[in-house]
């Protein structure tokens, strides 16, 4: 284990002592919110330190066994030491892997539900059709994973697909599993509207945003909001209902807009639009912080900004390429049918390797 990681464990041990003292303080135990926060941190730190102490013990066992092996005067003792050295080495390797996994920083947002926002970009009608294909891909993946989905808002295109669609996904670790889907998605294929058989390139943008809870919601001044009602309509202007139940909310300071027209209840449409607006505002704050961090260190997996071109879907070759991690898969049909696990797992692994490298270089910090 590198010295930089050992030093971080030493600092964590000191932090654990501080936490133990704080939790024994009657003033802290009287503040239940603070007590729960410190207790959770203490539990995580205690688990990490216990694992590290086990690692240190097996290092000491291995060292003692090697000393016996260096003195080969007793054949029976040497055989026992050799067996112990092998067992200790195996334990050290296993514990090292466990420590590496435990050390990786965890974003508290990872456990949250998420909104997937898909927007058609360059490419006109073909881009809208591709937005529809991406929507189906994510919905099929969610179905395979047993995740609940809900269309929060949609703007259908005349020839099919979407100009924009927002999907809410609820379940276990949703944002953590989908967060690296944010960015520009490019498609190369022969559009259905192409009579000459030429391959066209078009693009969509995807933004995956964690659903904030009430404690983390951006505080909004009602004076900063413009709320418009209008009559819900489908593609081509055909009216879905005859009442002004659709809602559009504009956050005036940022110009960010969220709308919903999918429910016949104006009240429910307003609640859905407000939820999407909150997520977009929180995502804007997150992206601004990430941009500042990226100025000093660019992550391998990327910032999640929509301007990042992250992936190409080449239909003539049946190929998917994720440009951030140089991943190429020749199973595009299966991926578009919702088999995203190989892609998502590769992105998670790349991010974990990047985080571990940062920890070992001393740039990162222990998650506890």
Tell me what the mean pLDDT of segment 111-134 comes to. 92
CB 78 within 8 Å of CB 69: yes
Report the distance separating Cα 50 and Cα 46, nearest Å. 6
**368 part of a folded domain:** no
Report the distance separating Cα 301 and Cα 282, nearest Å. 21
Residues 185 and 56 in one domain: no
**96 part of a folded domain:** yes
**118 part of a folded domain:** yes
Predicted pLDDT of residue 73 = 67
Q: Which of 76, 103, 130 is at the close of a domain?
A: 103
Q: Which of 43, 71, 103 is at the close of a domain?
A: 103
Residues 259 and 334 in one domain: yes
Question: What band does 214 get if pLDDT is binned at 50, 70 and 90?
Answer: low
Structural domains in the chain (count): 2
Question: What band does 302 get if pLDDT is binned at 50, 70 and 90?
Answer: low
Tell me what the mean pLDDT of segment 121-140 comes to. 94
Residues 210 and 112 in one domain: yes
Question: What band does 108 get if pLDDT is binned at 50, 70 and 90?
Answer: confident
Residues 157 and 287 in one domain: yes
State which of 67-71, 188-192, 196-200, 324-328 shows the largest mean pLDDT. 324-328
Report the distance separating Cα 27 and Cα 36, nearest Å. 13
Predicted pLDDT of residue 296 = 43
- Is 71 strand, coil or helix? coil
Of all residues in the chain, the percent with pLDDT exceeding 90 is 41
**298 part of a folded domain:** yes
Report the distance separating Cα 318 and Cα 338, nearest Å. 15
Residues 24 and 122 in one domain: no
Question: What band does 113 get if pLDDT is binned at 50, 70 and 90?
Answer: very high
Residues 161 and 190 in one domain: yes
Predicted pLDDT of residue 1 = 77
Percent helix / strand / coil, the chain, rounded to 5: 50, 20, 30
Ramachandran angles phi, psi of 263, nearest 5°: -110, 150
**275 part of a folded domain:** yes
Q: What is the extent of the structural domain holding 41?
A: 3-103
CATH number, domain containing residue 348:
3.30.70.1660
Report the distance separating Cα 68 and Cα 79, nearest Å. 10
Q: Is the pLDDT of residue 298 over 60?
A: no
Q: Is the pLDDT of residue 184 over 90?
A: yes
Of all residues in the chain, the percent with pLDDT exceeding 70 is 87
Residues 203 and 60 in one domain: no
Predicted pLDDT of residue 239 = 44
| Residue 217 CB burial class (10 angstroms; 0-12, 13-18, ≥19) | middle
Residues 99 and 113 in one domain: no
Residues 24 and 165 in one domain: no
Residues 251 and 160 in one domain: yes
Higher pLDDT, 26 or 262: 26
**361 part of a folded domain:** no
Q: Which of 74, 103, 132 is at the close of a domain?
A: 103
**366 part of a folded domain:** no
For the question of whether the overall pTM of this predicted structure is more than 0.75, the answer is: no
Ramachandran angles phi, psi of 249, nearest 5°: -115, 125
Question: What band does 346 get if pLDDT is binned at 50, 70 and 90?
Answer: very high
Residues 190 and 255 in one domain: yes
Q: Is the pLDDT of residue 238 over 50?
A: no
CATH number, domain containing residue 98:
1.20.58
Alpha helices in 30-145 (DSSP H): 32-70, 75-103, 124-145
Tell me what the mean pLDDT of segment 340-367 comes to. 79
Question: What band does 62 get if pLDDT is binned at 50, 70 and 90?
Answer: very high
CB 164 within 8 Å of CB 119: yes
154 dihedral zone (left: phi>0; alpha: psi -120 to 50; beta):
beta
CB 149 within 8 Å of CB 168: yes
Q: Is the pLDDT of residue 166 over 90?
A: yes
CB 297 within 8 Å of CB 355: no
Report the distance separating Cα 252 and Cα 226, nearest Å. 7
CB 356 within 8 Å of CB 363: no
**220 part of a folded domain:** yes
Residues 195 and 290 in one domain: yes
């Amino acid at each position: 284990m590198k010295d930089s990681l050992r030093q971080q464990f030493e600092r964590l041990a000191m932090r654990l002592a501080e936490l133990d003292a704080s939790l024994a303080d009657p003033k802290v135990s009287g503040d239940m919110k603070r007590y729960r926060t410190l207790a959770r941190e203490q539990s995580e730190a205690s688990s990490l330190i216990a694992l590290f102490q086990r690692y240190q013990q097996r290092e000491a066992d291995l060292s003692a066994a090697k000393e016996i092996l260096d003195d080969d005067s007793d054949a029976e003792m040497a055989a026992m030491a050799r067996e112990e050295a092998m067992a200790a080495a195996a334990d050290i390797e296993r514990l090292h892997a466990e420590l590496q996994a435990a050390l990786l920083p965890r974003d508290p947002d990872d456990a949250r539900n998420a909104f997937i926002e898909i927007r058609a970009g360059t490419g006109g009608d073909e881009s809208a059709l591709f937005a529809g294909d991406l929507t189906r891909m994510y919905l099929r993946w969610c179905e395979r994973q047993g995740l609940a989905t809900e269309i929060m808002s949609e703007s259908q295109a005349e020839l099919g697909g979407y100009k924009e669609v927002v999907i809410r996904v609820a379940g276990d670790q949703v944002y953590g599993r989908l967060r690296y889907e944010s960015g520009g998605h490019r498609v190369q294929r022969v559009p259905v509207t192409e009579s000459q058989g030429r391959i066209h390139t078009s693009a969509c943008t995807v933004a995956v945003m964690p659903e904030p809870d009430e404690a983390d919601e951006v505080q909004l001044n009602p004076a900063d909001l413009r709320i418009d009602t209008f009559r819900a309509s489908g593609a081509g202007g055909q009216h879905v209902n005859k009442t002004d139940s659709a809602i559009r909310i504009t956050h005036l300071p940022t110009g960010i807009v969220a709308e919903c027209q999918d429910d016949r209840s104006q009240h429910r449409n307003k609640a859905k639009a407000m939820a999407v607006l909150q997520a977009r505002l929180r995502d804007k704050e997150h992206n601004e912080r990430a941009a500042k961090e990226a100025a000093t260190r660019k992550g391998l997996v990327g910032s999640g900004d929509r301007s990042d071109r992250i992936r190409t879907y080449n239909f003539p070759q049946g190929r998917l390429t994720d440009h951030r991690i140089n991943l190429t898969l020749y199973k595009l049909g299966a991926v578009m049918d919702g088999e995203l696990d190989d892609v998502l797992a590769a992105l998670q692994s790349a991010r974990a390797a990047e985080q571990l490298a940062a920890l070992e270089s001393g740039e990162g910090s222990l998650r506890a």
